[in-house]
Amino acid sequence: MREPSEHRLFPLRLAAAVALATLVVYLPALRNGFVIWDDPHLVVENINIRSLDGRFFRWAFSTTSLAVYWHPLTWISHALDYAVWGQNPLGHHLSNILLHAANTFLVVLLSWTLLESASGTPAGPRYSGRFLGIAAGATGILFGIHPLHVEAVAWISERKELLYALFFLLSMLAYTRYAASREGAAGAQRPLRSYLLSLVFFLLALASKPMAVTLPAVLLIMDWYPFRRFTSRRAAWSVFGEKLPFLLCSAAISIMTILPQKAVGTLPTFADVPPLERLLVAGKALVWYLVKMALPFGLSPLYPYPRQFSPVSVEYILPVVLLAGITAGCLRYAAEKPSWLALWAYYLVSLLPVLGLIQVGHHFMADRFTYLPGIAPFLVLAIAVAGAWERNAAWRERHRSVPALAVPVVIVLVLAGLTISQIAVWRDTITLWSRVIELEPNRVPVAYTNRGIAFMEAGRIEQALADFDQALRLDPSAVSHMNRGKAYQALGKIGLAIEEYTAALRLDPSYALAYTNRGLAYQGKGENARALEDYTAAITLQPDDPRSYTNRGILFGEAGRNDEAIADFTAAIAVDPYYADAFTARGLVLGEKGQYERALADLDRAVALKPSAVDAYLNRGVIRERMGDLGRAAEDYGRVLVLKPDDHLARLDRAAVYAKAGRYADAIADLTQAALHRPGDARVYALRASLHLRAGSAAAALRDFRKACALGDREACDAARRAAEE
């Protein structure tokens, strides 16, 4: 008998309502920006995602260099965002929020479907429609607005977590349709389309993030409960046989993930981190995740790996006891409460890839790792809430449900408030790393490093230097010395900057960026020969960095070695076709060689890539002036003044162009502004005086000549005498 349409539509409406509430809670994330933690090299500075052509797709499906593992769908999603939004973080955050809302929608449907399937088995519980609605809705609410999930949503670089979760959930939903169907009396087969759809979604999940490798084990858990498909040995072989394509895909992705990480040295050996330590730290993480789900306070973007390890410490023994107790309890009541064991197994299996048993990083746990594993504890709590609601129906009627509703409403509001507060932590780099420093002031040097870089970008050099000093105290590494050198250089303390870069190179002679920055410091001191040596060393060590080619090319250009300069700029552009500074520099040298058309093409490209490139507009204005295109030259100088209103030379250049074009009033207006900004520049008054003469204002010209004369311009003194005699 077909179900009523209202019954079929209710789960969809419930899921949509919960997803909409989730979206509303996360709207404050639209005010957030990019942060200095993976965002720069994965998104902001990643030239590969700036086009959607064949070259990009070849790169996306072949590279493991930037993220160390294969996730082409994630790259495609970032490229689509860049195509629509460019480097405006709002659009990138909007995509993350929409993906999280979609995942919340799917979690509600999946919870409903699994509970309904459990209720439909002969020996299973009997859940009413109200119970299903409360349990599925509560699971979705917890998933959608729990503060632990903020990291996965508010961090643009964690797009991979959201994307893989989307396809993981879709694969599970497709599989429920397949597994829940029953073979008919005539031996009708389970729906092959649902099976194939589940496999396709699994492949898409793997192409989003390798953590999806756990899905085959999750499907086997679902086969055991709620679908109870292990009815005989033959049935078990059939169930395992169905998972063979899934398992082969998981094995392939696991190999593709582990080998690149081993190649770059991110997989410590058991000699570095013994197996017992890995197991006990993993156990601690499993328990702490549950604690954070229950009490989501003191959340940190980074939980540093333990400094000291003692296998007899309470912090490791107690989690082992708790885990053993929960596992024993689930096994003890497996026949009566199979859902407990199934959900506990799902929790353990889905967290397995990130527990540090294979890979050990700087952190022993991370909020984002709970994104899908947290569904199990949330569903347990939701089932308990729904059961309590059903059992106390009479009490609710007497009290008109107000007290009964108050508790869950308060919990939801508290969670929403904590989530909004946690979203603010990810507002920008400074707030992010300040939070880490607040919680771990002496254990995370990278927090001071990244916050210092953000201070540098904001022009707060003294604060940046203080952070770099602290990072150096915690971690006397080449990177710390190099960053402190950049701060000294920004403060004009070139000698101290060179000392820091040299210290960095003593610690790491292969540090190409230290050579590049020391070259800039030498260049600032006028020691061009040493700068040239450093740029060449940087190019040798890191031939794929366009900055060193461009810097060396500028030195060649200043020395009149234009052909060598052009060769270096061309090499920089070959490395990074989107590096605007190289186009600007090459355009300038081509202009000096009189190759105006080629120069204009380069400068046009520079301003297209970097609309704030002041030097590109200025150089293009000079070339257009030389070519006699006075109107467009004036436009370029005007653009410079919009971007940099105090650019004195650009204002004088535009005044000169206006004068050539006979626009004396405009030229005089520019020179008047120049006089306000630089009242001690005699040239301004001398030029304005000559324009007053051309415009027929002899008295005004005489005043300006005298002013220029008073400022030391001898020619202006002579002109003033002649004007006075006339």
Q: What is the mean pLDDT of each run of 10 residues along the chain (726 residues)?
A: 61 96 97 95 91 92 79 96 95 98 98 89 74 95 97 97 98 93 50 93 96 96 93 91 95 81 57 80 94 95 86 88 96 91 96 79 87 97 87 60 71 95 97 96 94 95 96 94 96 95 96 95 93 96 94 94 95 93 95 93 93 92 92 93 89 89 87 84 82 80 79 68 60
Angle between helices 614-626 and 630-643 (to 10 degrees): 160
d(CA 39, CA 34): 6
DSSP single-letter state for residue 603? H
Task: Name which of 418, 344, 434 is nearest 149 in CA terms.
Answer: 418
| The predicted structure's pLDDT at residue 404 | 61
Residue bearing tokens 């990083």 = 361
637-654: burial string, b at 16+ Cβ within 10 Å, e else: bbbbbeeeeebeebbbbb
Residue given tokens 């209720």 in the structure block: 119
Q: By C-alpha distance, which of 660, 623, 620, 665 is closest to 640?
A: 620
pLDDT of residue 2: 44
Per-residue three-class SS string for 525-536: CCCHHHHHHHHH
Beta bridge partners of 304: 363
| Residue 266 token pair | 């991110």
Domains and CATH numbers, the chain: 11-181+190-418 (no CATH), 544-645 (1.25.40.10)
Burial of 80 from C-beta contacts in 10 A (0-12 / 13-18 / 19+): middle
Report CA dihedral (533, 531, 586, 490) to the nearest 10 degrees.
Answer: 140
How far apart (Å, rounded) are the C-alpha atoms in residues 519 and 521?
5
Both tokens assigned to 83: 């195509």
Q: With beta carbons less than 8 A apart as the criterion, state whether 366 and 37 touch.
A: no
Q: In the prediction, which pLDDT does 272 show?
A: 65
d(CA 88, CA 99): 18
Among all chains, which residue has been given the structure tokens 């040493």? 530
Distance CA 600, CA 586 (A): 10
pLDDT at 1: 38
- Distances from the Cα of 145 to the Cα of 22, 39, 104, 140, 291, angstroms: 6, 24, 9, 9, 17
Q: Rounded distance, CA 444 to CA 433, Å?
A: 10
**What is the model's pLDDT at position 482?**
96
CA distance 497 to 456: 15
399/392 Cα distance (integer angstroms)? 11
Terminal C-alpha separation, the chain = 112
Burial group, residue 590, by CB count within 10 angstroms (0-12, 13-18, 19+)? buried
Distances (CA, A) of 26 to 29, 137, 428, 433: 6, 18, 16, 21
Residue 186, pLDDT score: 39
Cα distances (angstroms) measured from residue 242 to each of 237, 245, 252, 582: 9, 7, 17, 56
Return phi, psi of residue 342, to 5°. Answer: -65, -45
In this structure, what token pair is assigned to residue 190? 């389970």
The residues facing 190 across adjacent strands are none
SS3 242: helix
Distance separating alpha carbons of residues 361 and 586, to the nearest angstrom: 43
Pairwise CA distance, residues 302 & 667, whole Å: 58
- Residue 68 Rama label (left phi>0; alpha psi -120 to 50; beta): left
Q: Which of 367, 378, 355, 374 is nearest to 299 (CA)?
A: 367
Residue/partner pairs of 677-686 with CB below 8 Å, 24 or more apart: 677/646, 677/648, 677/651, 678/648, 680/711, 681/648, 681/711, 682/707, 682/708, 682/711, 682/712, 682/713, 682/716, 683/652, 683/708, 683/713, 684/652, 685/711, 685/713, 685/716, 686/713, 686/715, 686/716, 686/719
pLDDT at 683: 81
Q: Reduced to 3 DSSP states, what percent helix, strand and coil does the chain have, rounded to the nearest 5? A: 75, 0, 25
Whether residue 40 is preceded by a cis peptide bond, meaning omega within 30 degrees of 0, is no
Phi, psi of 33 (to 5 degrees): -110, -170
d(Cα 496, Cα 498) in Å, to the nearest integer?
A: 5
- The identity of residue 457, as a single letter, is E
**Could you give the CA distance from residue 603 to residue 592 in angstroms, rounded to a whole number?**
13
In angstroms and rounded to an integer, the radius of gyration of the C-alpha atoms of the chain is 33
Structure tokens at 253: 């992705």
Under 8 Å between Cβ of 582 and 549? yes
pLDDT at 330: 95
Q: C-alpha distances in angstroms, 571 versus 172, 539, 546?
A: 49, 11, 8
Which residue has tokens 């079929």?
8
The rounded Cα 267 to chain-centroid distance in angstroms is 23
- For the stretch 439-444, contacts whose Cβ atoms lie closer than 8 Å and that sit 24 or more positions apart, written own/partner, are 439/298, 439/300, 440/300, 440/302, 440/304, 442/474, 443/304, 443/307, 443/474, 444/302, 444/304, 444/474
User: What does the buried/exposed string (b/e) look like for 440-465 if buried means 16 or more CB atoms within 10 Å of the residue's CB?
Assistant: eeebbbbbbbbbbbbbbeeeebebbb
User: Cβ-count burial of 565 within 10 angstroms (0-12 exposed, 13-18 middle, 19+ buried)?
Assistant: buried
